[in-house]
Amino acid sequence: MTSVGGIANPRGKVGAFPVEPRFLGMGAVGAAIAWLALVPLGFLFWQSFMTPRVGGRPAQFTLGNYAGAYSSPDTLPLLANSLAFAAGASLLALAVGSALAWINERTNTPFKSLVYALSVVPLVIPGILFVVAWIMLGSPKIGLVNLAFQKAFDADGPLIDIYSLPGMIFVDGLHYSPIAFLLMTSAFRAMDPSLEEAAMMSGASIGGIARRVTFTLAWPAVAASFLILFVRSIESFETPALLGLPVGIEVFTSAIYDAIHRYPSDVGLASAYAMTLLAITSFGVFWQSRMSSRGGRYATVTGKGFRPRRMDIGRWRWAAGGFFLLYALLVIGLPFLVLLWSSLQKFYSAPSWAAAKNITPKAYYAVLAYPNVATAIWNSVFLALSGATIVMLLTAVACWIVHRTKTRGRWLLDGVASAPLALPGLVMGLAIMVCYLALGGGVYGTIWIMLIAYVTRFLPYGMRYNSTSMIQLHPELEESAAMSGASWSLTFGRVVLPLLKPGLVAGWIYIVIVSVRELSSSILLYSPGTETVSVVIWELWQNGQYVELSALGVMLIAALFVFVVAAQAVSRQFGVREV
Amino acid sequence: MLSVKGLNTEYKTQKGPPVKAAQNVEFEAPKGVFFTLLGPSGCGKTTTLRSIAGLERPTSGAIEANGRVVYSSSQGVFVPPNKRNFGMVFQSYAIWPHMTVFSNASFPLEVRKNKLPKAQIREKVMKVLHAVGLDHLAERDATKLSGGQQQRLALARALVMEPEILLLDEPLSNLDAKLREKMRFELKRIQRELGLTTIYVTHDQGEALALSHEIAVMNEGRIVQIGSPRAIYERPANRFVADFIGTTNFVDGDVKGFDDQTKLWRMSTPIGDLMVSSDAPLTAGGKATLSIRPEDVELTEEAPPAGRLLNLANGVVDQKVFLGDIVDFQVRVGDVMLLSRAHPSLRTPIGDKINIRMDPMKCVALPAEPAAAAQAAA
């Protein structure tokens, strides 16, 4: 029998030793993924029990890092702040996102297309720009919202103080709400519409249907979404760093950053914090995957695919439409406008007729003329394109091994490649830094270490996209290629990859976008000459160059927007669902 | 009683003009009648049902239930579905998976404005669960029920609200063949016992013929014939109905004239000159199509007895298919192939000659349709 790719047992007894190219290829991919995902974590774990190497003194075993981290009186507030921040932000995002999704999917509220368009906001507005924009809006001294409030009501104090725990929760919750919207929208769409129609025919009111049927049935999805958002919020770096640190509200991510950036930097302490954060996120990711794998209980026979009837909510629809508009204003209108305004100024000043006369595009020329901006753009483009390509190809092979072969321990490969999902970007950056500092080899301080970080970080996305399309691929398509006499590599290149193309393209686009926004890993790994665009924005903020930052930010948003629109047009052509 | 007048329902599409799903649908279902909307998929039967339910908003027309107007475009009335008090059974059953059998069935009573006392709700629910044979499973999780049990629970939930009209949207289509047969009887028994005005949607002609008092056959958004099951089968009004319900032989021919004595029409066809019956007046000299059911094409080896007025023809056996209780014969008459359903005792070999006789009352002439003629030409 011809050994058909993966169908024959790779450990088959026929033949002496199976040195076929496919085993080499599979082995190399498996080893690469294991190296990327596991080795840095091992070093992080090791570092958390070691003293830092200072000068020629080698590292020694110590429990001092954990002792230092957990005996300090700052630790309890740190844990409390982290949990309060993450829980608050994810609950806010979930409440807003679910309400939007329900109104949008189930009622006849106007401005529907607007809400769907807004769901790309977290893709096109990187976290750091969103936070900066909200500082310009909500800072007690210069925030436009506060200035407008004081002028209108002749008040002394500010209306809102963004530099506070509620402020942090507000900004992050708002930024993650489109994700909650998308998660809940797909949950509502997966629901058989006749379940709600049956309640309606039974005489239930619209509120009664939402409460007793829609949301009760969506409960598993609500809980799973909460965990996803919670993990994202507790990993969030930009918001705590820019809003919390200046007023001394520390969470784990900002504490890790702080420990590394103080002098002398305390990598051991940072590692101890990182292990704790990792424990929390792993727990969240674990429960979330447990819940989604048990989600089958509520699966029912689906009907004829009728779109559910949009319920008439009467005059309430104008209130709901107003909610849409207010949301659009908060999530994109105000933040983008304030960035645009400040980018057109010479020095940052609040909008006024006097200031409007000074509008000038000079900041755009100035920021583009900075030598490190050109380098950063090049770096970002290089990292995004090569990172996305490497991830999609690596995971295509990995998914093939997981779904198509009977290799022992293939589930382990799936688990390992998906593990970085639980790794906060900052922890990933720290682990990779520790790993390649210890190993040497000259990677540290180059663009390659950042590429390694990006590839590792986005492996899970590649796995998810490729798995989805691999499962839809009938094995007989490969078997018939093998029966036609094609070798494994030829089958993979000529049959498998082309058939995976829609998933490959969609995943590639998604990874390019998230790579350009990436900050939390890069912030620990960059050195002069390897800055990315988001790192430059971070530096501009630290230098107080708000006008230049705004100009660069506006250009980045515009570029991402064009890319996302083009990508969605392309994806639609390939018949891919949206990311 | 339910009356539907001039009902039009459209769907907006992403591109192009709206789809006219139901066009000028008009019928009346008297009190206690089992009324079926029958047609192929996409004929607008489900849209019509959902418009009656209020789950779709029609573009024009009027719907009246027991004298209460629930929809009228001219009066600007649209009663929302949760205020209509119509019971509905969905194709997917729509059993709420997060509730028990009892709470699924009690839901319509729980959400009512003036709620009954608990004991009374319990009594009503148990009564209706008993009627569908689920009373012993009341406290079970609804998802633990089999397909047939879920179906009966959906029916119980629709009945517990004592609806003015019962709407059934292909309720049997998700069941396996054996169970479907059983539920057919069950459904018929319950409907007849309660005397509920019932509107039933199906694409299964067997179901429609077995259950209904009256059937409306739909095609391309319109009702093409309304009548009793027997009338629909034996006296189809047009080519579509004759073709969709059961199997039939179509024979085209020319109308020669009307015979006053027998009240039959004379037609000249490729299988000979025939006496045929027609419900609609034909025009002498015009074209018409005959529909003859296979069981009405009688085959005999001996010459037919004289006396009775019969259409006679001679043919040659071309093919036979043995089906156990019947044998299907393909008989060639000239250039025309006729399908005949015969008793298995008839064992004429292929290639042998055979005599054919057809009752003129069973040779139904359908007036030529402009659309059908155009289609045939194309």
Residue A389 per-residue DSSP state: H
Assess whether pLDDT exceeds 80 at residue A291: no
> Mean of the pLDDT values across residues A431-442?
85
- E strand or H helix at B355: strand B353-358
Q: Which domain holds residue B318?
A: 248-377
In the structure encoding, which two tokens stand for residue B45, read together?
């039967």
Nearest chain B residue to A216 by CA distance is B98
Candidate ranges A24-28, A203-207, B117-121; pick with highest mean pLDDT? B117-121
Q: How far apart are CA B324 and CA B284, in angstroms?
A: 43
Q: How confident is the model at residue A285 (pLDDT cuts 50, 70, 90)?
A: confident
Please give the pLDDT value at position B282.
86
pLDDT tens-digit map of B237-249: 999 999 999 999 9
pLDDT tens-digit map of A170-198: 999 999 998 899 888 888 887 788 888 89
Give the count of domains, chain A. Answer: 1
Residues B177, B134 share a domain:
yes
Assess whether pLDDT exceeds 70 at residue A297: no
Residues B255, B204 share a domain:
no
Residues B312, B234 share a domain:
no
| Residue A213 touches partner B, C-beta closer than 8 Å | yes
Please give the pLDDT value at position A441.
77
Q: How far apart are CA B198 and CA B328, in angstroms?
A: 37
- What's the longest Cα–Cα distance across chain A? 88
Residues B38, B170 share a domain:
yes
Beginning with the edge strand found earlier in the chain, give each strand of the sheet holding B19-29 in spatial order.
B19-29, B2-11, B60-65, B68-72, B77-78
Residue A19 per-residue DSSP state: -
Single out the residue in B240, B273, B297 at which a domain terminates: B240
> Mean of the pLDDT values across residues A400-416?
82
Query: Across all residues in chain B, what is the average pLDDT?
Result: 90
- DSSP codes joined into one string, B40-96: STTSSHHHHHHHHHTSS--SEEEEEETTEEEEETTTTEE--GGGT-EEEE-TTTT--
Residues B317, B228 share a domain:
no
Please give the pLDDT value at position B32.
94
Q: How confident is the model at residue B177 (pLDDT cuts 50, 70, 90)?
A: confident
> Mean of the pLDDT values across residues A342-356?
80
In the structure encoding, which two tokens stand for residue B158, read together?
């629709």
Residue A298: name the closest of B90, B152, B102, B141 by CA: B141
> Mean of the pLDDT values across residues A549-556?
93
Q: Which residue has the higher pLDDT, B42 or A385?
A: A385
Single out the residue in B192, B224, B240 at which a domain terminates: B240
Please give the pLDDT value at position B307.
59
Assess whether pLDDT exceeds 70 at residue A303: no
Residues B66, B126 share a domain:
yes
Please give the pLDDT value at position A404.
80
Residues B171, B319 share a domain:
no
Between A293-302, A430-439, A528-537, B194-203, the lowest mean confidence (pLDDT) is in: A293-302
Between A9-18, A453-462, B20-29, the lowest mean confidence (pLDDT) is in: A9-18
Residues B300, B212 share a domain:
no
pLDDT tens-digit map of B273-289: 999 999 888 888 889 99
Q: How far apart are CA B59 and CA A155, in angstroms?
A: 55
Please give the pLDDT value at position A307.
58
Binary contact (A198, B80; C-beta < 8 A): no
Please give the pLDDT value at position A300.
41
Binary contact (A203, B111; C-beta < 8 A): yes
Contact B163, B53 (CB under 8 A): no
Q: How confident is the model at residue B250 (pLDDT cuts 50, 70, 90)?
A: very high
Residue A387: name the closest of A532, A488, A497 by CA: A532
> Mean of the pLDDT values across residues A310-326?
85
| Residue B86 touches partner A, C-beta closer than 8 Å | yes
Residues of A in Cβ contact (< 8 Å) with B171: none
Single out the residue in B215, B240, B265 at which a domain terminates: B240
Residue B172: name the closest of B156, B157, B155 by CA: B155
pLDDT tens-digit map of B328-376: 999 999 889 999 999 999 999 999 999 999 999 999 999 876 554 444 4
> Mean of the pLDDT values across residues A262-267?
80
B118: domain CATH number is 3.40.50.300
Residues of B in Cβ contact (< 8 Å) with A207: none
Binary contact (B108, A202; C-beta < 8 A): yes
Please give the pLDDT value at position B376.
43
- E strand or H helix at B338: strand B336-342
Residues B270, B226 share a domain:
no
Give the count of domains, chain B. Answer: 2
Residue of A195, A204, A298 lying closest to B82 (CB–CB): A204
Task: Compute the radius of gyration of chain B from its Cα atoms.
Answer: 25
Please give the pLDDT value at position A14.
42
Q: How confident is the model at residue A9 (pLDDT cuts 50, 70, 90)?
A: very low
Q: Which domain holds residue A370?
A: 20-51+363-579
Nearest chain A residue to B171 by CA distance is A303
Contact A47, A256 (CB under 8 A): no
Residue of A213, A302, A309 lying closest to B92 (CB–CB): A302
Candidate ranges A146-160, A339-353, B48-62; pick with highest mean pLDDT? B48-62
Residues of B in Cβ contact (< 8 Å) with A221: none
Residue of B94, B147, B161 lying closest to A203 (CB–CB): B161
Q: Pairing state of beta strands B77-78 and B68-72?
A: antiparallel
A462: domain CATH number is 1.10.3720.10
Residue partners of B159: CB distance under 8 A and separation at least 6:
B87, B128, B131, B132, B166, B190, B194, B196
Please give the pLDDT value at position A484.
74
